[in-house]
Structure 1
Amino acid sequence: MQLAGILHRPESEDTAVLADHQVLIRLQTAQDIQSVTLKYADMYLWQAGAPMKTTTMQRGLATQAAQYWTLTVTVPTNRLIYGFQITGNDGKTIGYGDDGLFTDEATQWAITGHYFHLPYLHVSDAELPPAWVKDTVWYQIFPERFANGDQTNDPAKVQPWGQGPVQRDSFYGGDLRGIIDHLDDLADLGINGLYLCPIFTSPSNHKYDTLDHFEIDPHFGTKRDFQELVDAAHDRGMRVMLDAVFNHFGTASPQWQDVVKNGAQSRFADWFHIHDFPVGQDAKTGELNYETFGTAAMMPKLNTQNPAVRDYLIEITSYWLRQLDIDAWRFDVADEVDHGTWRAICAALRAVKPDVYLLGESWHTSASLVGNGQFDAVMNYPLTQPILSLFNQTVTIADYVGKTNLQLCQYRQPNQQVMFNALDTHDTARALTVLQDDPQKVQAALTLMMLLPGAPCLYYGTEAGLAGGPDPDNRRCMPWEPAPKTTAMYPIVQKLVKWRRSQTEFLATSQLSWQIHDGWLQLIRKDATQTVVGSFNLSQHSQTSAVVGKTIVSAGLTGDQLAADGFSLQVLNKR
């Protein structure tokens, strides 16, 4: 028994309060463990003579190095002490609790100090994410490139729609009116969540160098237009998420310009990370004397630990909730802003709208940003990017499964269900381009993503087979001619989106498991009512599928034969 592989941390992602009186407990071990029994009780009742309860834990997901064990426990009194009785493949047993490992003897189990403690389970401490997010399929829009609905507000140097190649400073005239005009198209696709990249005043096409967070960029329209967009989206059952950039401002922002003008005497001098004055760039070395987002001189980094800055950011985000009735915020570069600021902002926003969805941008595993008074979820790149590697066959199937299972164990279960899952975004190359311009591989990747826990997101144009390399090529204009509905990609994407939304509760509560054959991967979701199987043939030859059931989507499936590179999503045993 590899004792070094045993790990559990109370009040972490290993213990998730699911509801009043209900907690999910998880244990990590090495892969040489035969079984795990959970021993638990209310400490006070146990000390008064009530018996300790024992329940066998379920063998859960396995990573490349570890095995996870899970159990959902109902606690009538909301107080809990618990310990793990672990049995190795060699038949030997050991106890594990708050003070580490101990011998599996009755006298040892009688010692209170051996047990982990959850003194009292408060549902409010669980910080359960908004329930509506589990039912959401998001659609990310880069507003400048989605649709030009009002040519009267076009920038001076606007280019004809879709003509390229796209440059970093290209303008095509996309605006809010264009989004409003196509809401019915998105509703037909099955979308019920709109994520808009920044729409606030900015000199750039991407708007991540904001000048005024309280105003809509005039090239996009007006607040009246945006209110119409929100109302029209809500009428169609769609939620709206805006993008906030609080790690940095643009150099044309009034706060930064005041610093440029007044130096150390500016009332905004301590709003930024400035090393000396006047602010600028050394003529010889080219070094900046202020901190920025990355190395971008035009994006000076905010000092978010300044209370005045925090108050201003709270004022901004609260305004759009109160006045325009948005439903969610996505926060750019969230991992470079201090946790205290996020706790302050998130608490203020939940006070305004308790079911607001708060999402942080992070490109790595970021459990420290989720919960604990901060975000409901983060952008789940570590979970979704390996999907592309799988279908490009730059990672083995076994390694893909191990890496994916590891990510599925990084967050509490309620948060995992609302993580933001996207194959591509405005910051990555398009999935179609990454997958060698093979539409069938994109369809297979989307099928796999739709089966995983989390809230899936489509990047605009995916349904029309839009390609694109790294930024700025990934921000091509949405192709409206021919209509997306006429493309080969559209019906598959539409079926996946609508099926995913029809299975909200099933995908939130069903067990997840994998089967790996020779070049063949199956992802299985199962509960008492049905079994759903995603099959992916990554080999170079046709294989016989043991799956027989209702087919939701497929490619290369003929009878029980799945062709090379084929995939299928099938429902079995539905009652």
Structure 2
Amino acid sequence: MELAAIYHRPNSEWAYMSTPDEFVINLRAKHNDLSKVEILYGDPYDKTLTEANTSKWNYQVKELVKNLRGVSADYWQVKLSIPASRRLAYAFRIYGQESEQFLYDDRKLAPFSETSLHDLVAFRTPYLDPAEITGLPAWVAKTIWYQLMPDRFANGQPTNDKEGTVAWDSEEASATNFFGGDLAGIIDKLDYLQELGINGLDLTPIFTAYSNHKYDTADFWSVDPAFGNKEDLKRLVDEAHRRQMKVMLEGTFDHLSDFSLQWQDVHKLGAKSRFAKWFKVKAFPVRYTLSADPNYAPDASYAMFANNPHLPKLNLHEKAVQDYLLEVLTYWVQQFDIDAWRIGTADEFPPSFSRRLVAHLNKIKPDFYLVGENNDTGINTEGRPLFNGGVNYPLVEIMKDYFLDEKAAVGWLIEATNTQLMRHANPTLQGMLLSLDGPNSPRLLDLCHQDKQLMRALLAYSFLQIGSPVLFYGTELGLTGASVPANRACMKWKVDEQDETMLRFIKVLADFRKAYNPLITKGSYEWGQYSSKYDYLSFTRRLGKQRIFALFNLGYSSIKFVLPANAKLIMSQNLIETDSRLGQYGFVIIEA
């Protein structure tokens, strides 16, 4: 038995309350190293006085199940009922493949014996208060999101086009041109999105700003006039809700535009400005060193976002700034009934402010969904999570490394995926967003080297993962763009410019995800047969008596696959049933 591979971390995503009455515990060990694992558990204060006048802990025993099987490691799990005292103590009794047994507690991993059991120092939880559960609104795991940039989606109200707006799709997208897309245009296309299978709208920033993408917000209190007004936003939310669609707004709140009133006041008055403490200013007057790139400064007398001198960084530890952001973030929920915030660089928020924000939003709207978009998805979501979820970039990059770049063997994909599945509690995993592309990345078709079969295979695989899928606008029509700003091209509304095959595929994929959503979000994940040599993998998702099996072939050669007699074929690509072969980039998903 390889003892160094045995791992558990108490009071974390490896040991957490999943519901007010259930506590989940996970353990890692070397692949196929253990024959059985038992947990000794109970109320830490439930003790009996022995004849020797010593106290004996009254524990129960329950066997763990092998929850995830990998290539180098396996993960074991048990779900325990929380005692009436709402405290738990526990330790592991570990059985090797031979006769060896070990006791794993908070102080030691030692051979199991009467002595080690007598000296047991159990892992212990604090008081398990249900109020500390970061729950997930029931609707989140059922949502398929559609991320869109208003200026590039649809122009429904030409009268609000700003001066210099160019005709729709009349020229290539650039960093400075405007095409007139607006909130009215989104409203006009809600039926199209509903038919596509979308039930969640993810709007990139809509607030007043000088760019076409609006991430450089100057005023968080207003809708950018080029997009319409607050009445238009209210109508959009109401119309979306009428179609059972949720609405999520995006914003970056760790910096402001240098056109903001607050920064302009600091620029003018320096240290005497009432906003001087709002920013991380090193010296007054505020200034920066010019470079060939107007959006890059090698140094400045103030902290910047991404070394962009036009995006001064807010001092998020300043109470006045926190109060301001709290007002802004709650205003759009209270006044317009939005359902979610997707907060960029949320890892910059002090934990105390994040807790305050979560409590405030939940009080206003108990089923509100708060997403942190961070490079490190663990911040705000690991351990005792603060937010409902994040954008699961690590899991998405693992998929891309395997499917697109041929950087990884199948075994690596399995191990890396297992690691990410164990990085978060299951409710948090369900609250993660799975974005294969977006405003700051190449288009999915470009990532797939213009191979639409590969693109469909990756999309199908991603829709089988835990977390909510996110489609970037135009993915269903085959939009391309290898870099910013080409990836932000106008939506193709002319039928003869659309990829009808991809459009139908996305509709089928969305229907599949909705039909099997409970199984995909809550079911077990069981890796099946795979081959690094021939580059294929399979896995099963199971919930109760329902089971779906998926097989993906990325290899150059076709592989043999015989459809079981009683199986239901859900969807497939490059499956030649007459020859029982699955070709390159082929996949098959069945219910069996």
Q: Same fold (TM over 0.5)?
A: yes
User: 1:383 maps to which residue?
Assistant: 395
Indicate if the aligned counterparts of 1:201 and 1:213 stay in contact, CA closer than 8 A. yes
Cα distance between partner residues in 1 of 2:562 and 2:18: 35
Residue of 238, 241, 247 corresponding to 1:240: 247
Whether 1:161 aligns to 2:179 is no
Q: Distance in 1 between matches of 2:353 and 2:563?
A: 50
Query: Structure 1 counterpart of 2:586, which letter?
Result: G
Cα deviation 1:241-276 (Å, max 9, x = unaligned): 111211110000000000011011000011111111
Q: Return the TM-score normalized by structure 2.
A: 0.92
Secondary structure of the equivalent of 2:240?
helix
Given candidates 77, 100, 107, the residue that maps to 1:99 is 107
Match of 1:116 among 78, 99, 123: 123
1:498 and 1:472 map into 2 onto residues whose CA distance is 32
Q: Which moved more, 1:525-534 or 1:230-239?
A: 525-534
Q: Does structure 1 residue 173 correspond to structure 2 residue 180?
A: yes
1:252-263 equivalences under 5 Å are 252-263=259-270
Match of 1:421 among 434, 437, 443: 434
Count of residues in correspondence between the two structures = 571
Kindly indicate whether the alpha-carbon contact (under 8 Å) linking 1:539 and 1:564 is maintained by their aligned counterparts in 2.
yes
- Pairwise CA distance, 1:180: 0.3
Cα deviations by residue, 1:40-72 (Å, 9 ceiling, x for unpaired): 122333547785322221112255653211111
How far is 1:133 from its partner?
0.5
**Residues 484-529 of structure 1: CA distance to partner in whole angstroms, max 9, x if unpaired?**
8861101111111122122222223211011213321112101332
C-alpha displacement of 1:340:
2.6
Which residue is equivalent to 1:358? 370
Tell me the residue number matched to 1:45.
46
Deviation at 1:172, TM superposition (A): 1.0
Query: Is residue 22 from structure 1 mapped to residue 22 from structure 2 by the alignment?
Result: yes
> Given residue 558 of structure 1, which amino acid in structure 2 is its aligned partner?
I
Q: 1:346 aligns with which of 358, 372, 376?
A: 358
Q: Structure 1: which amino acid aligns with 2:300?
A: L
The answer to whether the 8 Å contact 1:144/1:171 transfers is yes
Q: Distance between the aligned counterparts of 1:483 and 1:352, measured in 2? A: 46
Q: 1:96 to 1:564 in 2, by over 3 A?
A: same
Question: SS at 1:219's partner residue?
Answer: helix
Q: CA deviation at 1:452?
A: 0.8
Q: Is the 8 A contact 2:174 2:485 kept in 1?
A: yes
Q: Is the 8 A contact 1:544 1:562 kept in 2?
A: yes
- Counterpart-to-counterpart distance in 2, 1:485 and 1:204: 28
Per the TM alignment, residue 475 of structure 1 is displaced from its structure 2 partner at its CA by 0.9
Question: Do 2:478 and 2:498's aligned partners in 1 also have CA atoms closer than 8 Å?
Answer: no
Deviations 1:401-440 (A, max 9, x none): 1111111110111111111111111121111101111111
Shift of 1:286: 5.4
1:278 is aligned to 2:308: no
Distance 1:363 1:286 in 2: 23
Secondary structure of the structure 2 residue equivalent to 1:11 = coil
- 2:568 is matched with which residue? 550
TM-score, length of structure 1 as denominator length: 0.95
For 1:513 and 1:436, locate their aligned partners in 2 and report how far apart those are by CA, in whole Å.
30
| Counterpart contact for 1:463–1:484, Cα < 8 Å | no
Partner of 1:6: 6
Residue-by-residue CA offset, 1:159-189 (whole Å, 9 max, x unaligned): 2222333211121111101100000011111
Q: Distance in 1 between matches of 2:258 and 2:232?
A: 27
Say which SS state the counterpart of residue 67 (structure 1) adopts.
strand
Looking at structure 1, the residues matched to 174 and 520 of structure 2 have their Cα atoms a distance apart, in angstroms, of 41
- The equivalent of 2:34 in structure 1 is 33
For the Cα contact (< 8 Å) 2:572–2:589, is it kept in 1? Answer: yes
Give the Cα separation in 2 of the matches to 1:350 and 1:163. Answer: 45
Tell me the distance in 2 between the aligned counterparts of 1:352 and 1:122: 22
Q: Which moved more, 1:153-162 or 1:470-479?
A: 153-162
Contact 1:343 1:373 in 2 (8 A): no
CA, structure 1 residues 169+480, in 2 after alignment: closer, same or farther (shift >3 Å)? same
Q: How does 1:30-429 map onto structure 2 within 5 Å?
A: 30-31=30-31, 32-47=33-48, 52-62=59-69, 65-77=72-84, 78-111=86-119, 113-282=120-289, 287-370=299-382, 372=384, 374-392=386-404, 393-429=406-442
Q: 2-side partners of 1:283 and 1:436: how far apart?
A: 38
Distance in 2 of aligned mates of 1:131 and 1:282: 50
Cα distance in 1 for partners of 2:371, 2:453 equals: 30
Q: Distance in 2 between matches of 1:406 and 1:531?
A: 23
Partners of 2:330 and 2:163 in 1: how far apart?
33
Q: Deviations over 1:355-403 (max 9, x none)?
A: 1100011123424545646211111010012212222222211111111
Q: Residue 463 of structure 2: which of 442, 450, 464 is its match?
A: 450
Partner AA of 1:526 in structure 2? R
2:154–2:186 contact (8 Å) kept in structure 1:
yes
- What SS does structure 2 have at the residue aligned with 1:556? strand
**Structure 2: distance between partners of 1:283 and 1:227:** 42
Alpha-carbon offset, residue 354 of structure 1: 1.5
> Is this contact kept in 2: 1:16–1:414, CA < 8 A?
no
1:511 to 503, 511, 524: 524
Q: After alignment, is 557-566 or 156-165 more displaced? A: 156-165
* Superposition deviation, residue 312 in structure 1: 0.2
Query: How far off its partner does 1:120 sit?
Result: 3.5
Query: 1:464 — aligned with what?
Result: 477
- Cα deviation for residue 100 of structure 1 reads 2.4
The answer to whether structure 1 residue 475 and structure 2 residue 495 are counterparts is no
User: What secondary structure sits across from 2:95 in the alignment?
Assistant: strand
Taking the aligned partners of 2:562 and 2:118, their CA distance within structure 1 comes to: 50
SS of the residue aligned with 1:252? coil
Question: How much has 1:35 moved relative to structure 2?
Answer: 2.6
Q: Which amino acid aligns with 2:75?
A: Y
1:568 aligns with 2:588: yes
SS where residue 261 of structure 1 aligns? helix
- Equivalent residues of 1:388, 1:435 under 8 A apart: no
Moved more, 156-165 or 222-231: 156-165
Partner Cα separation in structure 2 for residue 237 and residue 371 of structure 1: 33
Match for residue 548 of structure 2?
A: 532
Moved more, 175-184 or 398-407: 398-407
| TM-superposition CA deviations, 1:451-481 (whole Å, max 9, x none) | 1111111111111111111221211111111
Structure 2 residues not aligned, in runs of 5+: 50-55, 292-296
SS at match of 1:522: strand
Contact kept, 8 Å, 1:535 with 1:567, in 2: the verdict is yes
Distance across 1 between alignment mates of 2:496 and 2:523: 37
- 1:27 counterpart SS class: strand
Structure 1, unaligned runs of 5 or more: none
CA RMSD of aligned residues (A): 2.0
Counterpart secondary structure, 2:202: strand
The CA distance in 2 between the partners of 1:64 and 1:35, in whole Å, is 18
Identity rate, percent? 37
> Are 1:35 and 1:57, in contact at CA under 8 Å, matched by a contact in 2?
yes
Q: Is the 8 A contact 2:69 2:526 kept in 1?
A: no
Cα deviations across residues 178-220 of structure 1 (Å, max 9, x unaligned)? 1000000111111111110000000001111111111000000
- Structure 1 CA distance, aligned partners of 2:168 and 2:572? 34
CA contact (8 A) 1:347 1:373 kept: no
